[in-house]
Amino acid sequence: MNNSEILFIYDAKLCNPNGDPDDENRPRMDYERERNLVSDLRLKRYIRDYLEENGYEIFVTKPDGKTVNATDRLKLLIEKSNKKIDLNKFKEDDVNWLLSQLIDVRLFGATMPIKSDTAKGSSLVFTGPVQFNWGYSLNKVRLVDSNGITSHFSSERENSQGAMGKDYRVYYSLIAFHGIISASRAKHTMMSDGDIKLLEEAIIKAIPLQATRSKIGQYPRLFVRVEYKDNGFMIGDLRDCVEPDKVDELREIDDFKLDITRLSTVLGENANRINKVYFWQDEKLVTKSNGNEGRFDKVVNLSDDMIQEIKY
């Protein structure tokens, strides 16, 4: 396994990509730059929920819809598996078994309140090989002007008018995430190449399938994973290399084309350090590079054998 970098872009139309509980659940915003923000935890939640719904054990979850602490979550997992494991005296084989059960720990890491022969202290800490920083919009984003909603159910018995509330949404946001996969950390969490494929599947499929009333209207548009030959090298934040050819007053995906000229250039310049570039692209997204328009693999400056399309 080698290091990888990820570029993931999805859009949000007339919805709330990530509400801020400290600001009346308004969409998170950088108001000075008019950019929409989405936390890495929001993206990881989509991924975890997708994997759990598809039968994988998840550490950071609510078993049977109930909130439990980390110790109780581990006890439930051990009881479910009929394993005889003492949380106060974990052995190396026990740690390996635990990692084999929990895909989100293999991907994102975790701090577990257990004592182990392989670690000092009262907690076992795994630093996840897969990390994302906060996502932000590539376009200028404005909130929907009208945000009042009315419920037909009154807040009090004496109130026959119904309850008023706030429903904050964005008109359109083209959100980009940058992520890394560390090969050295993968060894410590036992993350496999198969886990990376599951991660790719979850990133591409999860968001529209996890839609709620405030989240419906979000769709993945582009996923790129650059896998390197040299584990001592990374290009850096790939979002710096892409931009819509129009950034203001966007309302839908047909309003712009995604310019990947700089990304094409930097990939070409570092082709000798790249093992493979994996990509998935929504058919509605138009990418362009150096004046040429088409799919990512048709306009990027790499040989055909270096690019592999992800198909679902």
User: Above 60 in pLDDT, residue 109?
Assistant: yes
Query: Do 116 and 166 fall into the same domain?
Result: no
Query: Do 186 and 218 fall into the same domain?
Result: yes
> Which has more confidence, 156 or 53?
53
71 is in which domain, residue-wise? 63-127
Give 102's pLDDT tier (boundaries 50, 70, 90): very high
The last residue of one of the domains, among 110, 127, 144, is: 127
220 close to 207: Cβ distance less than 8 angstroms: yes
Reference 178, options 227, 224, 230, 245; nearest CA is 224
Work out the average pLDDT over 100-118. Answer: 83
Q: In sequence order, what are the residues at sequence separation of 6 or more whose Cβ sits closer than 8 angstroms to the Cβ of residue 229?
A: 2, 272, 273, 274, 275
How far apart are the C-alpha atoms of 105 and 311, rounded to whole Å? 26
Work out the average pLDDT over 81-108. Answer: 85
Query: Do 160 and 283 fall into the same domain?
Result: yes
Work out the average pLDDT over 49-70. Answer: 82
Q: What is the DSSP string of 158-224?
A: T--S--EEE---EEEEEEEEEEEE-HHHHHHHT--HHHHHHHHHHHHHHHHHT--TTTTTEEEEEEE
pLDDT at res. 100 = 92
Give 62's pLDDT tier (boundaries 50, 70, 90): confident
Work out the average pLDDT over 255-271. Answer: 97
Type and span of the H or E element at 297: helix 296-299
pLDDT at res. 158 = 57
pLDDT at res. 159 = 55
pLDDT digits (tens, 9 = 90+) for 130-177: 999 999 999 999 999 866 665 555 555 555 555 556 889 999 999 999
104 close to 133: Cβ distance less than 8 angstroms: no
The last residue of one of the domains, among 106, 127, 148, is: 127
pLDDT at res. 122 = 65
Query: Do 171 and 261 fall into the same domain?
Result: yes
pLDDT at res. 68 = 65
Maximum alpha-carbon separation in the chain: 73
pLDDT at res. 88 = 72
Give 119's pLDDT tier (boundaries 50, 70, 90): low
Query: Do 76 and 223 fall into the same domain?
Result: no
Q: In sequence order, what are the residues at sequence separation of 6 or more whose Cβ sits closer than 8 angstroms to the Cβ of residue 231?
A: 2, 3, 183, 184
Query: Do 134 and 120 fall into the same domain?
Result: no
How far apart are the C-alpha atoms of 240 and 261, rounded to whole Å? 11
Query: Do 162 and 272 fall into the same domain?
Result: yes
pTM: 0.90
Work out the average pLDDT over 177-199. Answer: 96
Query: Do 206 and 253 fall into the same domain?
Result: yes
pLDDT at res. 80 = 83
The total number of structural domains that make up the chain = 2
Query: Do 136 and 282 fall into the same domain?
Result: yes
pLDDT at res. 150 = 52
Lowest mean pLDDT among 210-214, 245-249, 268-272, 299-303: 210-214
Type and span of the H or E element at 312: none
User: Above 90 in pLDDT, residue 82?
Assistant: no
pLDDT digits (tens, 9 = 90+) for 195-221: 999 999 999 999 999 888 888 999 999
Give 229's pLDDT tier (boundaries 50, 70, 90): very high
pLDDT digits (tens, 9 = 90+) for 4-45: 999 999 999 999 999 999 988 999 999 999 999 999 999 999
The last residue of one of the domains, among 109, 127, 145, is: 127
Query: Do 208 and 68 fall into the same domain?
Result: no
Query: Do 236 and 117 fall into the same domain?
Result: no
Query: Do 84 and 101 fall into the same domain?
Result: yes
pLDDT at res. 312 = 80
